């Protein structure tokens, strides 16, 4: 299966790069395209901006923007969502043939004050392959990716938006790339990450767009300072190595883990 990830400008879809990216994907036979977090509307700096760009179900503007996609191509698109309860989320919609392919994924651990956390990790399918979505900061935690892998995901899609103060971006650049490799290797999954790039108002995009194989090999990566589209052919083995790492096989380790988790909940 051929997959692609778009490294976009900080402005997101406002930069107007989507039509060209879709055209490139169609020519190359891409089946799964990943766009950055908050690609539609951009990363909102505060709640008023988030309110202004938020979309509610059925996300008509987002679906309309993807109307020219080939019917066989699935797109994972980041946007600001207004949920039924009026809360705002950094979400990702999975769109195929002009329709939503299941529920949206909402960021579980948002650092942005405008966003409320999500609570679910939906599983999606592209052909015979199951995949899950891990949005930006959620990739810094072991649990979301591991839960998706245990549920059957063999591909982890990571919409990123490392739109950060320039000094923070420099400090996080290597860590972000290393974290993506870690999620791939420890879960025996392909990782497809789409990030933003560029500078504006003292902020800088991280440019961590890449496609990583389950053994940690970087199959494709965008240039750190330039927008663009990266592609790779993904081959998913029939059998995953993940079952070899079940901590329940060692009761002592499992008991220690449970004790640690319960201690955190109790505040001890």
So what CATH class is 2-266?
alpha beta
8 or 173: whose pLDDT is higher? Answer: 8
Residue-wise pLDDT for 94-111, tens only, equals 999 999 999 999 999 999
Coil, helix or strand at residue 33: strand
128-140 confidence digits (pLDDT tens):
999 999 999 999 9
Work out the number of other CB atoms within 10 angstroms of the CB of residue 152. 14
At residue 267, does pLDDT exceed 70? no
**pLDDT tens digits, one per residue of 65-80:** 999 999 999 999 999 9
> What pTM was computed for the model?
0.93
Report d(CA 191, CA 224) in Å as an integer. 18
Helix or strand (DSSP H, E) at 137: none
Tell me, what's the pLDDT at 213?
Answer: 97
In terms of Cα–Cα distance, which of 103, 74, 75 is closest to 91? 103
Cβ burial of 77 (10 Å; 0-12, 13-18, 19+) is buried
Average pLDDT of span 151-169: 92
Q: How far apart are CA 177 and CA 229, in angstroms?
A: 17
Average pLDDT over residues 144-166: 94
In the chain, % of residues over pLDDT 70: 97
Q: Where are the domains of the chain?
A: 2-266
Mean pLDDT on 235-255: 81
- Give pLDDT, residue 250: 85
Could you report the per-residue pLDDT of 182-238, keeping only the tens digit for each?
A: 999 999 999 999 999 999 888 899 999 999 999 999 999 999 889 999 999 999 988
- Give per-residue pLDDT as tens, 19-41: 999 999 999 999 999 999 999 99
The whole-number pLDDT of residue 268 equals 56
């Amino acid at each position: 299966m051929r997959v692609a990830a778009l490294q976009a400008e900080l402005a997101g879809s406002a930069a107007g790069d989507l039509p060209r990216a879709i055209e490139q994907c169609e020519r190359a036979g891409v089946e799964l395209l990943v766009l950055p977090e908050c690609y539609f509307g951009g990363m909102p700096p505060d709640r008023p901006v988030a309110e202004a760009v938020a979309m509610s179900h059925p996300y008509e503007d987002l679906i309309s923007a993807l109307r020219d996609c080939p019917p066989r191509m699935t797109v994972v698109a980041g946007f600001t969502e207004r949920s039924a309860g009026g809360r705002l989320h950094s979400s990702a919609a999975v769109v195929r043939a002009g329709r939503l392919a299941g529920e949206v994924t909402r960021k579980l651990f948002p650092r942005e004050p405008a966003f409320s956390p999500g609570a679910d990790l939906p599983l999606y399918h592209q052909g015979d392959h199951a995949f899950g979505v891990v949005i930006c900061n959620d990739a810094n935690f072991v649990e979301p990716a591991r839960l998706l892998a245990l549920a059957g995901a063999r591909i982890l899609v990571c919409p990123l938006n490392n739109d950060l103060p320039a000094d923070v971006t420099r400090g996080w650049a290597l860590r972000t790339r290393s974290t993506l490799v870690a999620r791939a290797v420890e879960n025996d999954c392909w990782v497809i990450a789409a990030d933003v790039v560029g500078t504006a108002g003292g902020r800088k995009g991280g440019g961590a767009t890449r496609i990583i194989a389950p053994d940690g090999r970087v199959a494709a990566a965008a240039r750190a300072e330039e927008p663009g589209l990266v592609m790779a052919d993904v081959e998913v083995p029939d059998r995953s190595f993940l079952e070899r790492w079940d901590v329940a096989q060692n009761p002592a380790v499992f008991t220690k883990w449970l004790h640690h988790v319960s201690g955190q909940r109790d505040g001890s």
